[in-house]
Structure 1
Amino acid sequence: MNSFKHMHEWRDNIDRFFGESFWNEFEGILKPNIPYVNIYRKDYEILCVINIPGIRQIKQIDCQVDGYNIQIEGDITIPASGYELIEEEIVQGSFNRTIELPYRVRDDKVNARYEHGLVWIHLYKDVQDNKKSRSISIKDGDK
């Protein structure tokens, strides 16, 4: 007996009963936010550490800072050609995530680097009222 076949049948029945948009309400719960992020703060500084494995070139990541948010997008690909994927815990694929910051940050004083699969973004609290967006340049920390 294929239990996955029965799970798909169950989902199809739910779709027919509630409508196909039923699952959209659960997307944020069922689909994990990637990439994973840790945010730290002290005094007037914020440190964001973003988990993005498998980046071969920094230009695979696009990162913007905009006042209270960091917008980051790219693609996580783990090449294992010739193998069949049996279990996947490291989420792969395109991502586009907005990271909400605890307070407004400066766009002229940003340091970012990619090192050992992590993007480290060091930001500073903005004490002025400035509302423009700025692209973040990430440096390769392995070199």
Structure 2
Amino acid sequence: MSDFYFGGDFLSDLNRVQRQMSSLLGNLPSSIRASRADAFPSLNVGSTDEAIEVVAFVPGVEPASLDVTVDKGLLTISGERRAEALTEGSRTYARERFTGVFRRVIELPQNADADKVEARYENGTLFIVIGKREASKPRAITIQ
């Protein structure tokens, strides 16, 4: 007998099969750069000649609950997103939004300067800029 059973609601059945397949395959990422589907916050990381830029998408998180640290080449973003209050007496039917304590750790390149870090929060987005060391910046060489 198969572990796969299809009842009346096709979408919930499809969701259940997807969870079963994920558990069988060990939640393998689709590529080497793919992150876990439940990783929070989602990040974009980029670089310019002057700095490393990190954008963390943290909607629903109060800026006061965020903590950003750089230590031993690791950038850590941590905080807490609280659940929105439902009407008193209501029961939760579905919950798709992550709530609770979170922590993301990013390994920074060796040329990151931990003394040159700036962070700002704007409209649910955390912008972090980490300067690069002077010695690592590109410079033009005059040929004699």
Match of 1:62 among 64, 67, 88: 67
Residue 140 of structure 1: aligned partner = none
Structure 1 match to 2:119: 112
Rg larger in structure: 2
Give the deviation of 1:114 after TM superposition: 1.0
2:4 is aligned to none
Q: Work out the number of aligned pairs and report it.
A: 116
- Which amino acid counterpart does residue 124 of structure 1 have in structure 2? G
Q: More helix by proportion, 1 or 2?
A: 1
Letter of the 1:39 partner, please give it: V
| TM superposition score normalised by structure 2 | 0.60
TM-score by length of 1: 0.61
Q: Tell me how far 1:62 sits from its aligned partner.
A: 1.6
**Which residue number corresponds to residue 131 of structure 1?**
none
Deviation at 1:73, TM superposition (A): 1.2
Unaligned runs of 5+ in 1: 12-21, 129-143
What residue number does 2:59 align with? Answer: 53
Q: CA deviation at 1:35?
A: 0.8
Q: Out of 82, 86, 89, which is 2:94 matched to? A: 86
- Determine if contact 2:112/2:130 at 8 Å carries over to the other structure: yes
Aligned ranges 1:24-35 → 2 under 5 Å? 26=27, 32-35=38-41
Q: Percent identity?
A: 28
1:30 deviation in Å? Answer: 5.8
CA contact (8 A) 2:45 2:53 kept: yes
Given the alignment of the two structures, is residue 77 of structure 1 paired with residue 82 of structure 2, yes or no? yes
Partner SS, residue 39 of structure 1: strand
Q: 1:44 aligns with which of 43, 46, 50?
A: 50
Residue segments in structure 2 that go unaligned for 5+ positions in a row: 1-6, 30-34, 136-144
Alpha carbons of structure 1 residues 99 and 54: separation in structure 2 relative to 1, 3 Å:
same
- Aligned 8 A contact 1:67 1:105 in 2: no
Alpha-carbon shift at residue 46 of structure 1 (Å): 1.2
1:92 Cα offset (Å): 2.5
* Cα distance, 1:98 vs structure 2: 0.4
**Cα distance, 1:120 vs. partner?**
0.6
1:60-109 deviations in Å (ceiling 9; x for gaps): 11211125321111112241322535251x33222111012234321222
